[in-house]
């Protein structure tokens, strides 16, 4: 008897993936049941249109992207595949938070106590129980602006009795290695806002510890960063730029592509413009997408600029 999983794909009823054209990791054809799941996700999990950009999580995003969102400009929608990926990231971060409390609190541990806010429930599976907490609703005054914020939690260190902000982030393989070697990058802008909330001031928190999770392998790594007044100044300026009446200049420029450390002669769009922004076409109109073979046969898009930009000074590999 032939196993179901061994059937030829031609007999599985593959259908056209309606989101393939706007995917950065597309499957042109997908099984019928997969399509039905994607359709359900698209109908039930799609976020409503939101022009509220005065929130801490927005600080990590390009300020021109925020400007478009604040003006209600329609961008490329989030595909069901990406929504699943973000949801799995959120779930893994909630799981990590549970283990921070279980593994890092007590005599001889990193923290004497933690504050994750209200416990909203538990998840029971395979003989384990994971506690789930609701992110705390906070407010920060950033210059003339009132910004809403949500913190993962706070921990009181055993070493000196000081409180610190706790942020949990899930990463891809590349992003995790970058976090270990180069730091939290733009996520520091979000934590800079959280460290200016009334809650942070009440606790006297002046630093943040990021717990990074490599989603594919389960590796964990943590790093602590002190509050940086210079970064706080930049964060405030970017909020004001995102709220300005006049459209701000594009903060990113095309970069020179390299292959094996040698220039290819092409100019390409950098991260986060290359498939990670819903408004790429609003900033760059002269580009084509070239598909490059990646790991496991998966193709990834390369956004090739068709008209050279003299401002390009960076190099991408």
Sheet holding 111-115, edge to edge: 111-115, 153-157, 163-171, 207-214, 220-226
Cα(140)–Cα(56) distance, integer angstroms: 9
Q: What is the distance between the alpha carbons of residues 48 and 67, in angstroms, rounded to a whole number? A: 17
Quick one: pLDDT at residue 297? Answer: 56
- Token couple for 309: 């930009």
- CATH architecture, domain 80-243: Alpha-Beta Complex (3.90)
pLDDT at res. 183: 95
Which helix (H) or strand (E) element contains residue 59?
Answer: none
Distance CA 216, CA 88 (A): 11
Tell me if the pTM is above 0.95: no
Question: Which run of H or E residues covers position 209?
Answer: strand 207-214
- Residue 245's Cβ-side half-sphere holds a number of Cα atoms within 13 Å equal to 0
Residue 191 is predicted with a pLDDT of 98
User: Distance between CA 125 and CA 129 in Å, rounded?
Assistant: 7
Q: What are the boundaries of each domain within the chain?
A: 13-44, 80-243, 255-316
**Residue 258, C-beta contacts closer than 8 angstroms, at least 6 positions apart:** 264, 315, 316, 317
* Residue 179 DSSP label: H
Residue with tokens 């393989």: 173
By the 8 A CB rule, do 302 and 290 touch? yes
Angle at 287 between CA 286 and CA 291, to 5 degrees: 170
Q: How far apart are CA 283 and CA 65, in angstroms?
A: 9
pLDDT for 187: 97
Q: Do 99 and 86 form a contact (C-beta atoms < 8 A)?
A: no
Which runs of E-coded beta strand occur in 186-283?
A: 207-214, 220-226, 255-259, 262-268
Q: Which two tokens stand for residue 58?
A: 């927005």
10-residue mean pLDDT profile of the chain (317 residues): values are 47 82 83 95 82 94 96 90 90 93 97 95 90 92 97 97 97 93 96 98 98 95 98 98 96 91 92 86 87 65 72 41
pLDDT given for residue 295 in this prediction: 58
Residue 165 has a pLDDT of: 98
Distance CA 252, CA 166 (A): 30
pLDDT at site 255: 93
């Amino acid at each position: 008897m032939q196993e179901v999983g061994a059937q030829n794909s031609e007999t599985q009823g593959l259908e056209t993936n309606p989101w393939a054209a706007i995917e950065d990791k597309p499957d042109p054809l997908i099984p019928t049941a997969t399509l039905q799941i994607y359709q359900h996700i698209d109908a039930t999990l799609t976020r409503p249109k939101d022009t509220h950009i005065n929130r801490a999580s927005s600080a990590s995003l390009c300020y021109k992207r925020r400007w478009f969102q604040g003006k209600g400009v329609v961008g490329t929608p989030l595909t069901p595949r990406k929504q699943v990926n973000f949801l799995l990231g959120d779930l893994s971060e909630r799981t990590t938070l549970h283990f921070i409390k279980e593994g890092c609190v007590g005599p001889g541990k990193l923290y004497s106590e933690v504050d994750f806010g209200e416990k909203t429930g538990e998840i029971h599976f395979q003989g384990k129980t994971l506690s789930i907490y609701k992110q705390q609703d906070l407010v920060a005054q950033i210059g003339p602006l009132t910004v809403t914020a949500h913190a993962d939690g706070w921990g009181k260190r055993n070493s000196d009795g000081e409180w610190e902000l706790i942020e949990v982030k899930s990463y891809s393989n590349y992003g995790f290695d970058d976090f270990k070697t180069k730091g939290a990058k733009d996520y520091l802008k979000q934590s800079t806002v959280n460290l200016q909330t009334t809650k942070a001031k009440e606790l006297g928190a002046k630093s943040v510890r990021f717990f990074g999770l490599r989603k594919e392998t389960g590796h964990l790594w943590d790093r602590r960063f002190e509050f940086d007044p210079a970064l706080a100044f930049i964060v405030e300026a970017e909020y004001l730029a995102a709220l300005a009446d006049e459209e701000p200049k594009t903060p990113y420029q095309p970069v020179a592509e390299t292959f094996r450390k040698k220039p290819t002669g092409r100019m390409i769009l950098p991260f986060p413009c290359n498939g990670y922004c819903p408004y790429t076409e609003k900033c760059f109109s002269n580009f084509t997408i070239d598909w490059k073979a990646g790991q496991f046969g998966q193709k990834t898009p390369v956004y090739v600029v068709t008209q050279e930009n003299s401002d390009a000074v960076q190099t991408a590999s």
